[in-house]
Structure 1
């Protein structure tokens, strides 16, 4: 079998090849094809490898087909330094051409490099197993596997994938070429957004829960009642005057907010009380006995000063006037109804 292991520097590809593959070779046997068994032997160029093996170099790799025996396993790290891509039309070396029949010889090769494109094209076409490692955090990497040499940029098509944790015992089996270099690992942006969302939810959840509880306690009903009290309420009363006519009078039970006089134009012929910030239009006033009452054009009764009422009650033609904002409407009583009926007879 021809196994290719790829990964950028520091991804753990050499560590994986030693722990998952090389250390399992010594002491195993395979069928020699003649009805017997042969012990497997490991050959590798990894520096200070403590797994039982025989050390080889680039020259040995180029002549592997001359000295390998059935059952042998070759593990070669940074193989791109020896078997780099060749130019088009160049002759295929014997060491690479013999890979086409390596299974007939009973030999397995484990080739480790940083990227498939750094390797001879003929070798890539003969790969039976491709394992790619991508480091995602300290001591952990994603492992992707294909049954052929694949484009490591398209991991979605991998035959299998999963998380591979670096075994601590594996670091004692060889001396890494990285010499304890610790590459900087950045968390993906999606992970940071997820943490921010969780933090925001934890902050907002108590307030949201309190609002929901307040709804069931009746806080919303209370606020509705307060709004109803703030808005003006009106009542209508109907009576028959001396001429037998039906008269309907609207009375204000709650003082309403009056717009400033500057924001709304006054009616033609209307007068304003000096110094008033806002005004209510008055149709006219009438005196009945000791009482004096003034009314709006809609028939609503309003309060007023005694001087103002007396000044505007003597004319049969009522003069439009304005009174102060603080002179709020008040409910009508029976005397007011009599005065209003008298006013209707005069007009």
Structure 2
């Protein structure tokens, strides 16, 4: 296989390449000892030959220095070959130019069971013929000159690692310190850890914020304020103002309290006084019980025959289409009215109701609490018919040409 290691100068490309290549080399030898059924401690006798170029003071036992990287293909079968700064051996060529032998032999490196570890700063720095045959791309990204790097890997060749972080396998790796003793490394001396500017800003904020709080606290104390000291309530009566002691708060005047409680909020309506608030909680809800549309004026009445302040358009809509009440606003009251009407009918002659000249089969609803009789009609009645049915002075409001309401016409008559 061909492994490509990339990264900016000083990122640790050579360091991690040597570490990975050593692990690859040893794991292969250990596997062979197991196949040969010999002790694992003898793995060095089964290790493959290793050739390294452009690495100073190489100190790994059994590894050899490759003097002429252009002759890499002359290494023996099964060799592991590492070429640092491989762009010097495989530089980009113009299109259509002849392919050098050491470049062309990349295509058949598998025939000799060889593995290549190539190191360069960027994939675009090497010959396209070699780049297309890379089987794994690794990118070393160092963090702030520290010994911690982000290590990205892609299968095959990654043309632009800096733009392909999302598609690569990402892991964090620490510098393998033991590798520094294998060769003379420039990374160990020329790159020192440097905090980013944002880290300095954060550190400065950690110091400045508490300091500013302390200074502000001292300033407040200097002005005479003591945030932690509470003023005792008992001292309020003994404090002096202009040399005179403050008087304790006086209890409220019971006469004024009584008069205030029984003074109506609305003049003329005693039940609006505060004293009756607990007794005047709403137990009923007003609904449009009857609506009359006559002479460009539409009026709706509640179930107590009181006028509703309603928009004309809504009133006419109710007259035309009716209005469905989804709740029962008068259940208890209707039961009381029905019971009262029944007792009244039993206590007076039948002619009392006929005194209004209402036919017995008309829809007489009953008597409300304020003495109003509610009459309903299943069909329109003219003004003359209404006047004939009941004296005009008994009609609540003007005599209507047509009265229509909730489901059917209604006319409200006073008793």
TM-score of the superposition, structure 1-length normalised?
0.51
Q: Work out whether 1:56 is the aligned partner of 2:66.
A: yes
Instruction: After TM superposition, give the deviation of residue 119 of structure 1 in Å.
Output: 1.1
1:112 aligned onto 2:116: no
- CA drift of 1:201 comes to 4.4
Residue 199 of structure 1 is matched in structure 2 by 207
Q: Does 1:159 align with 2:168?
A: yes
Query: 1 CA distance for matches of 2:209 and 2:111?
Result: 62
Residue aligned with 1:102, SS = helix
Cα separation, 2, equivalents of 1:121 and 1:218: 81
Residues in 2 aligned to 1:115 and 1:2: alpha-carbon distance in whole angstroms: 15
2:181 is the counterpart of 1:172? yes
Q: Over the residues paired in the alignment, what is the CA RMSD in angstroms?
A: 3.7
What number of residue pairs does the alignment pair up?
A: 214
SS of the residue aligned with 2:18?
A: helix
Q: Residues 229-265 of structure 1: CA distance to partner in whole angstroms, max 9, x if unpaired?
A: 9xxxxxxxxxxxxxxxxxxxxxxxxxxxxxxxxxxxx
**Could you tell me how far 1:9 is from its partner in structure 2?**
2.3
Matched with 1:188 is 196
Distance 2:164 2:191 in 1: 22
Unaligned runs of 5+ in 2: 38-45, 221-225, 232-240, 242-415
Alignment partner of 1:144 is 2:144: no
Residue 29 of structure 1 and its aligned partner are, at CA, apart by 3.6
SS at match of 1:103: helix
1:133 maps to which of 140, 153, 157 = 140
Structure 1 residue 151: deviation in Å?
1.3
Structure with the largest fraction of helix: 2
**d(CA) in 2 for partners of 1:104 and 1:209?**
79
Q: Shift in Å at residue 174 of structure 1?
A: 1.0
Conservation of the 8 A alpha-carbon contact between 1:22 and 1:42: no
Q: For 2:198 and 2:167, locate their aligned partners in 1 and report how far apart those are by CA, in whole Å.
A: 22
**How far apart are 1:153 and its partner, in Å?**
2.5
SS in 2 for 1:131: strand
| Partner Cα distance (1:126, 1:97) in 2 | 11
**Relative to structure 1, is the Cα distance of residues 82 and 31 closer, same or farther in structure 2, using a 3 angstrom cutoff?**
same
Which TM-score applies when normalising by structure 2?
0.44
1:102 — aligned with what?
Answer: 109
Q: Separation in 2 of the partners of 1:183 and 1:31?
A: 38
In 1: Cα distance, 2:164 partner to 2:27 partner = 35
Structure 1 partner of 2:87: 80
Q: Which has the higher strand share?
A: 1
How much does 1:44 deviate?
0.9
Q: Indicate how the Cα distance of structure 1 residues 184 and 168 shifts in structure 2: closer, same or farther if over 3 A, else same.
A: closer
Indicate the residue corresponding to 2:7 in structure 1.
7
Deviations 1:113-172 (A, max 9, x none): 122222111222221111122332243333222222331322523522233222222111
CA distance in 2, matches of 1:89, 1:202: 68
Alignment CA distance shift 1:200-1:64 (3 Å): same
Residue-by-residue CA offset, 1:255-277 (whole Å, 9 max, x unaligned): xxxxxxxxxxxxxxxxxxxxxxx
Match of 1:47 among 45, 50, 56: 56
Matched with 2:28 is: 28
Once the two structures are superposed, residues 272-325 of structure 1 have per-residue CA deviations (whole angstroms, 9 ceiling, x without a partner) of xxxxxxxxxxxxxxxxxxxxxxxxxxxxxxxxxxxxxxxxxxxxxxxxxxxxxx
In structure 2, the CA distance between the partners of 1:201 and 1:123, relative to structure 1 (3 Å rule), is farther
Cα gap change, 1:22/1:215 in structure 2, threshold over 3 Å: closer, same or farther?
same
Structure 1's 91 and 184: CA in aligned 2 closer, same or farther, altered over 3 A? same
